[in-house]
Amino acid sequence: MSLVRFRPAVPADRLREDFDREAWPHFREICRSARGLARSRGEAEDLAQEVFLQAWKSFARFERGTNCRAWLYRILWNVHHQKLRKKVPVPLGAEGEARLAETLAAEPPTPTEIKDGEVAAALDAVSPEHRQILLLSDVEEFTYKEIAGILRVPIGTVMSRLSRARAALREKVRGTSAAAGILAGGRAAQGETP
Amino acid sequence: MTAALNVRDYACGRVRRRLDSYLAGELSVDLSHEILEHLDRCPECRAEVKARENLRAAVRRIAAAMPEPRDGFEAEVRARIARTPPRGTVSVLLLAASVLVAAGVASWLVVGRDGRQSPETTASAPSLQAATADFAVVNHEICALRHTWPETAPPEEVLASGLDPKLERVLREAIPRLPGYVPVTAHECAPAGETVFHIVFRRVGTAGPGGLVSVLSTRPGSKAASGPALAGLVSGGRRGLAVVGTSAPDGRLLLLVSGGNEDETMALGRAVLPALATAFAGS
């Protein structure tokens, strides 16, 4: 029979001091990350507020000495993922994933001249899951191991998801660049792929 | 010539599959060296590295340009948190109140209203012991009614975050048992001096405390559960609130408190408490 783990109560005042020291310094960063994930400022504020409320309610269980920033991002992921599940059941779809995986081996070159506005449009066009893992890796600069902890998936899954996310972003960038007429010429390393 | 191209294409493909990990600094020293050597002699892959670096830099610039939170937003969240009780804590004031309540509960359980030794010597009571009802009502009043809870259910995973896996399973068992109610919080607290697992439900369409229902579970062997086991569902009431209780096979006391009348509360208790007793026993 499994035992229920009851932790000793912590005085609320001490918990608030710890929360002020450990969690609040990351508030603005979490807000900005939430803004990168949400479609509107209001949605981002709801997301950031929910993250901090959940963090506070669960803070007695936060293991002191571990990475509070990564812990907050794990909550951000959970809350965001739950919201996504309500709105978008399957962001890419198994068929889409398979199609993308096939194109990975024969990917055309990435455009060399890219404008920030085109990248922003491409980021907006990839699935929310892809956008989130790209932000975790390329912007927040979490290691693969830390991302695995945040998303609670094996490190191999992080690598494959990131690979798909980056390929999806490059595909969107190529699309927007081509639309702008600036796609760089040149032979793809894997041959003249369509 | 074709064979030479194929060899180079194979090498390029192998390198490009690893370029992102290389740029992220996630490759081993050996693999990084292999890529550097290839880049030295392959202008196309060097161009691809440069393009991907540009793309990463652009993503970082875009993220850095995200607007800062508006003035006052942090203060709003801080105020909201100040009104929110963390799980697993107890304030000094509540601790003092809890000690008094716990002492009262213990005395009710050991000595009856008129001072006679009652719980061990009397047959199961037709209604919930006043002390047990008091215990349930104190939990409901201090935790559920004095704090602000959302009007809609948080995502289930958020609701269960931080819970012990066993309590999480029990929560998932409880959630669908009360049609017309949504769970707004699930946590451990101790407003009456004993740690209880507390799920607060809200009647759909209500915003105030009147629509809140508490489902409480003590630990096995708790003082509140130390009286005779309750046979089936037993109801009672205190201070305008109705309470239904039952004993779980593992010795826990399971209680439901609502502001509805006795019949409504009994119906809610019938819907959820036996299922929770089974869930705890089966975990």
Taking only the tens place, the pLDDT of each residue in B5-21 is 455 666 888 888 888 88
Return the top range by mean pLDDT from A46-55, A106-115, B93-102, B256-265. A46-55
DSSP state of B177: G
User: How high is the pLDDT of residue B260?
Assistant: 85
Q: Which residue in chain B is spatially nearest to A44 when comparing CA positions?
A: B69
Task: Please state the rounded mean pLDDT for residues B50-59.
Answer: 91
Q: ipTM > 0.85?
A: no
Taking only the tens place, the pLDDT of each residue in B121-156 is 333 334 788 888 888 988 898 888 878 788 888 888
Instruction: Say whether A116 and B62 touch across the interface (CB within 8 A).
Output: yes
Task: Please state the rounded mean pLDDT for residues A28-45.
Answer: 89
Q: Which two tokens stand for residue B77?
A: 């969240």
Write the single-letter amino acid at B166. Answer: K
Cβ contacts of A111 on chain B, cutoff 8 Å: 51
Give ∠ CA A38-A33-A135 in degrees, rounded to 5. 100
User: How high is the pLDDT of residue A106?
Assistant: 58
Any alpha helices (H) in chain B, and if so which ranges? Answer: 2-16, 19-23, 29-41, 43-64, 73-82, 92-110, 130-139, 156-160, 165-174, 262-282
What is the β-pairing status of strands B89-90 and A10-11?
parallel
Nearest Cα to A30, choosing from B73, B85, B72, B83? B73
Q: Which residue in chain B is spatially nearest to A101 when comparing CA positions?
A: B17
Q: Which two tokens stand for residue B118?
A: 């009652």
pLDDT class for A55, splitting at 50, 70, 90?
Answer: very high
DSSP string, B26-41: -S-HHHHHHHHHHHHH
Instruction: Say whether A143 and B26 touch across the interface (CB within 8 A).
Output: yes
Beta carbons within 10 angstroms of residue B100's beta carbon? 11
pTM for this model (two decimals): 0.50
Contacts of A103 (CB under 8 A, 6+ apart): A167, A171
Write the single-letter amino acid at B109. Answer: L
Q: Which residue in chain A is spatially nearest to B191 when comparing CA positions?
A: A9
The per-residue pLDDT of chain A, averaged, comes to 77
Task: Please state the rounded mean pLDDT for residues A114-131.
Answer: 87
Asked whether residue B99 carries a pLDDT value surpassing 60, the answer given is no
User: How high is the pLDDT of residue A180?
Assistant: 53
pLDDT class for B189, splitting at 50, 70, 90?
Answer: confident
Residue A2 sits at the chain B interface (C-beta within 8 Å):
yes
User: How high is the pLDDT of residue A136?
Assistant: 92
Return the top range by mean pLDDT from B80-84, B95-99, B151-155, B172-176. B172-176
Beta carbons within 10 angstroms of residue A179's beta carbon? 11
User: How high is the pLDDT of residue A115?
Assistant: 85
Taking only the tens place, the pLDDT of each residue in B18-54 is 888 888 888 888 888 889 999 999 998 999 999 999 9
Write the single-letter amino acid at B259. Answer: G
Asked whether residue A191 carries a pLDDT value surpassing 70, the answer given is no
Cβ contacts of A27 on chain B, cutoff 8 Å: 69, 74, 77
- Give CA separation, B22 vs A131, A189, B17, B31, B112, in Å: 20, 18, 10, 8, 74
Q: Which of B50, B89, B166 sits opposite A9 (nearest CB)?
A: B89
| CA dist., res. A52 & res. A80, Å (int) | 13
Q: Which of A4, A12, A137 sits opposite B86 (nearest CB)?
A: A12
Q: Which of B20, B87, B154 sits opposite A58 (nearest CB)?
A: B87
Q: What is the 3-state secondary structure (H, E, C) of chain A?
A: CCCCCCCCCEEHHHHHHHHHHHCHHHHHHHHHHHHHHCCCHHHHHHHHHHHHHHHHHCHHHCCCCCCHHHHHHHHHHHHHHHHHHHHCCCCCCHHHHHHHHHHHCCCCCCCCCCCHHHHHHHHHHCCHHHHHHHHHHHHCCCCHHHHHHHHCCCHHHHHHHHHHHHHHHHHHHHHHHHHCCCCCCCCCCCCCCC
| CA dist., res. A106 & res. A114, Å (int) | 21
User: How high is the pLDDT of residue B134?
Assistant: 85
Q: Which two tokens stand for residue B22?
A: 């290389």
Instruction: Say whether B90 and A11 touch across the interface (CB within 8 A).
Output: yes
- Give CA separation, B5 vs A21, A191, B1, in Å: 58, 10, 6
Taking only the tens place, the pLDDT of each residue in B208-241 is 888 899 999 998 878 887 777 787 888 888 888 8
Q: Which residue in chain B is spatially nearest to A187 when comparing CA positions?
A: B44
Taking only the tens place, the pLDDT of each residue in A58-94 is 888 888 778 899 999 999 988 888 777 655 444 444 4
User: How high is the pLDDT of residue B95?
Assistant: 53
Instruction: Say whether A10 and B54 touch across the interface (CB within 8 A).
Output: no
Sign of CA dihedral B202, B203, B204, B205: negative
User: How high is the pLDDT of residue B248?
Assistant: 87
The 3-state DSSP class for residue B9 equals helix
| CA dist., res. A84 & res. B157, Å (int) | 13
Write the single-letter amino acid at B121. Answer: T
List the single best residue of B18, B66, B93 to mutate versus A (max A Cβ within 10 A).
Answer: B66
